[in-house]
Structure 1
Amino acid sequence: MDNEWLQRWRQGRIGFHRDRPHPVLVRHWPDLGVRAGTKVLVPLCGKSLDMRWLAQHDHPVLGIELAGQAIEAFVAEGVGEVTRYRQADFDICRQGSVELWCGDFFHFHIQQAADIGAFYDRAALIALPPATRQRYAFHLAQLIPPGARGLLISLTRGPGDDCGPPFSVPAEEIHELFAPNFRLTHLEDGKPEANGFRESAWALERRGPLPLRGTGAVRSGSSRR
């Protein structure tokens, strides 16, 4: 899967990239109640302009992307000085309030996510084959603190037509993957597209006790699952 993803970027087969912020993000993010200044995790971020939209709405962004080409394209198309450094398995560059970590999402650990308070997934879950999606949902839950909220955009298409990526991930699988660790709210289903896909949008909130006010510590006797 990793090799296929990298090959898509090398060959410019990135039809999934949008040339403007996703309308579902614009429509639903304000209703999540994520406070200004909260850092947003964006897994498998590509060069998505959704990150710039989040940054423009007072959210520092931490995007994780395997393809270095995507990260270089993002900063080349942006404005402002780029700073670069390395941490553990990741080459990192920062432009404005957007950090881009180049590497494997599954190598991003909870210690590196200490200041993450929200997340946005428009193209991560649907880029993963079935065998990897369970691992993804569990790893995301490890990185997100109790009470944190996020927006998930998924895709479905007709039965028997599931060659991907992007893959079809129906509502039943969304519940199976995320309900153990998140409260889910179904926000909307989009209209069927010409390619047979239909988007669905979900609000997620990490289950678990909220941190004690002013300390950032979880209440005694509990921990992240």
Structure 2
Amino acid sequence: MADHGASIVVGVDLAAMALRLQRERSFSEVEYTCTECALVGGGIVKVCNGVCGGCALRLFEGDMFELPPVAAFHGTRADFVYDRASMMAIPPLMRELYVRAVASVLKPTAGLMVERPIQEEGDESGPPFSFSADQVQALYEAATGRRYEVRAMENRWDGSLEPGAVHYYEFLRVYPKLCL
């Protein structure tokens, strides 16, 4: 996204190693300034800021559910969100809370790409937890009060032959319906 004209790219992960690998793989030339912010209920979130070309990079290491009150997160307004594996990792009963946290930083015209596992009908095991395009639409509409269009963009085979593993993933394009 930084290479395609984004003015700010925000990343969030609970795992320090995942963020470190992302920095090394995608932004190895960037120097980061990292600070720790205290959370209201206790605990901390680490925030790393850097610049790549003209794009600001802001990476949060911490629990996504704890981030909305953090000024550096709450003050962010996103044009686009790529949910690579978050919604599929979250138990179904926590999805509404997760979507509200994501929606809190969306601009009214922001779009999303949500990766979802394609599993056998009725497979409730996880993670990854399966969900439908209709569920994504309903969750974002409830969280934002806006109408959304959700369409499948493409499917991907992960190449794994491990029994019980998810082999196909679908990428959903989620955009607000704009009145003209």
Compute the TM-score of the two structures, normalised by the length of structure 1.
0.58
Q: Is 2:2 the partner of 1:55?
A: yes
Report the counterpart of residue 82 of structure 1 in structure 2. Answer: 32
Write out the 4+ residue segments of structure 1 that deviate beyond 6 Å after TM superposition: none
Is contact 1:117–1:144 with CA below 8 Å preserved after alignment? yes
1:204 is aligned to 174
> Is the alpha carbon distance of 1:137 and 1:207 closer, same or farther for their aligned partners in structure 2, counting shifts above 3 Å?
farther
CA contact (8 A) 2:91 2:129 kept: yes
Partner deviation per Cα, 1:153-206 (whole Å, 9 max, x = no partner):
222210243322221112332233223334123033526665444323323235
Between structures 1 and 2, the one with greater strand share: 2
Contact 1:189/1:198, CA 8 A, preserved across alignment: no
Mapping 1:60-75, distance limit 5 Å:
60-75=8-23
CA 99–198 in structure 1, closer or farther in 2 if over 3 Å, else same:
same
Partner residue, 1:20: none
CA RMSD in angstroms comes to 2.7
Give the CA deviation at 1:73. Answer: 2.8
Matched, 1:184 2:149: yes
Match of 1:116 among 77, 99, 103: 77
Would the alpha carbon gap of residues 138 and 84 (structure 1) be closer, same or farther in structure 2, given more than 3 Å must change? closer
SS in 2 for 1:147: strand
Gap change, CA 1:149 and 1:191, over 3 Å in 2: closer
List gaps (5 residues or longer) in structure 2: 40-44
Matches within 5 A, 1:100-179: 100-109=59-68, 111=71, 112-118=73-79, 119-179=81-141
Please tell me whether the aligned partners of residues 156 and 170 of structure 2 are also in contact (alpha carbons under 8 angstroms): no
Distance in 2 between residues matched to 1:191 and 1:75, nearest whole Å: 24
Q: Distance in 1 between matches of 2:167 and 2:84?
A: 14
- Please give the alpha-carbon distance, in whole angstroms, between the structure 2 residues aligned to 1:189 and 1:74: 23
Aligned-residue identity in percent: 23
Query: 1:57 and 1:192 mapped to 2: Cα distance?
Result: 26
- 1:121–1:174 distance in 2 versus 1, CA, 3 Å: same
